[in-house]
Amino acid sequence: MQHITPNPNTLIWYDSDYISSPDEQLFNPAYWKAQNRVIGSAQGRGTTWFVETEHLPAALRHYRRGGLFGKLVRDQYWFSGWQNTRSFLEFSLLNKLAKANVNVPRPLAALAVRSGLTYRADLLSEKIANAQDLVAILQVGRIDSAAYHRIGAEIRAMHDAGVNHTDLNIHNVLIDDKNRVWIIDFDKCSEQSGDSWKQDNLSRLKRSFEKELGRYQIHWQPTDFDALLKGYQQGKQ
């Protein structure tokens, strides 16, 4: 990972294998629109823009707060050092996970812009090609036990790398057209020692299936989660 400081209030971290000229514009959706290089978008907390970068399609996300507090300050975070910014932390974590062969988007570049006591941040990561999230997939139909095994095994790989995914829900699990499972959205996640949080991750994921069953009538039943746990126990083959 390299970094540049275009001005004293701005830091860009990037992978020079993918980004040859790091610039604040890379994080500006209007820049990509003006060049006709927006290839799609997805709606989460805010809009994630899919853009065609020099080497590969990427996902551009601006960090936003949720909840009531978020309505007031939206996208500002207290600044407590560059190494503590959301974008730097997620970039670092994705790097570590990718090196540990966990299927996560490769981080391409991260931005933090300070203004006084606060900062705003953005992340550019590889777009997972031909993938859909589990909610979208299960709205269409069931998936088989082998697919649940693969989901469990990928989560196990993430845990073996020592990473606690504090927002492990089925919107943050993608499956691509080659049946590969991808885990995304590592904002606020971190490396952790010990084991107790691992069960918490799995319980949260199970609650997410139950919640979306009520909301979107996804094709899922509780025994499907047993298949996922079996895959978790076996690990990646």
> Which residues belong to the active site?
167
The conformation of residue 187, written as its DSSP 8-state character, comes to T
Tally helices (H) and strands (E) across the chain: 7, 13
Which region, left, alpha or beta, applies to residue 235 given φ > 0 means left and ψ of -120 to 50 means alpha? left
Closer to Mg ion at the Cβ: 43 or 223? Answer: 43
What gap in Å lies between CA 212 and CA 52, rounded to an integer? 32
Least distance in angstroms from the C-beta of 234 to ligand ADP: 26
Closer to Mg ion at the Cβ: 85 or 172? Answer: 172
Q: Which of 3, 37, 45, 230 binds ligand ADP (CB under 6 A)?
A: 45
Read off the amino acid at residue 215. R
CB neighbours of 3 closer than 8 A, spacing ≥ 6?
11, 12, 13, 14
Of 134, 226, 140, 147, nearest in space to 180 by CA: 147
* Helix/strand/coil percentages in the chain, nearest 5: 40, 25, 35
Contact between 44 and Mg ion by CB under 5 A: the answer reads yes
Contact between 171 and ligand ADP by CB under 6 A: the answer reads yes
Q: Is the Cα dihedral 24, 95, 230, 168 positive or negative?
A: negative
Considering only 16-24, 109-117, 182-190, 212-220, which stretch makes contact with ligand ADP by CB under 6 A?
182-190
Closer to ligand ADP at the Cβ: 204 or 230? Answer: 204
Residues 185 to 224 in contact with ligand ADP, rule: CB under 6 A: 185, 187
What gap in Å lies between CA 70 and CA 127, rounded to an integer? 26
Of 48, 72, 181, nearest in space to 127 by CA: 48
Closer to ligand ADP at the Cβ: 8 or 71? Answer: 71
Closer to ligand ADP at the Cβ: 176 or 210? Answer: 176
Least distance in angstroms from the C-beta of 193 to ligand ADP: 26
- The length of the chain in residues reads 237
Which does residue 48 bind out of Mg ion, ligand ADP, none, counting CB within 5 to 8 angstroms by kind? Answer: ligand ADP
Residues 100 to 119 in contact with ligand ADP, rule: CB under 6 A: 105
Least distance in angstroms from the C-beta of 212 to ligand ADP: 13
The CA-to-CA distance between both ends of the chain, in Å, stands at: 30
Q: Which of 48, 76, 125, 172 binds Mg ion (CB under 5 A)?
A: 172
Contact between 172 and ligand ADP by CB under 6 A: the answer reads yes
Interface positions with Mg ion (CB under 5 A): 44, 172, 185
Query: Which positions touch ligand ADP (CB under 6 A)?
Result: 42, 44-46, 48, 59, 61, 105, 125-128, 131, 133, 171-172, 184-185, 187
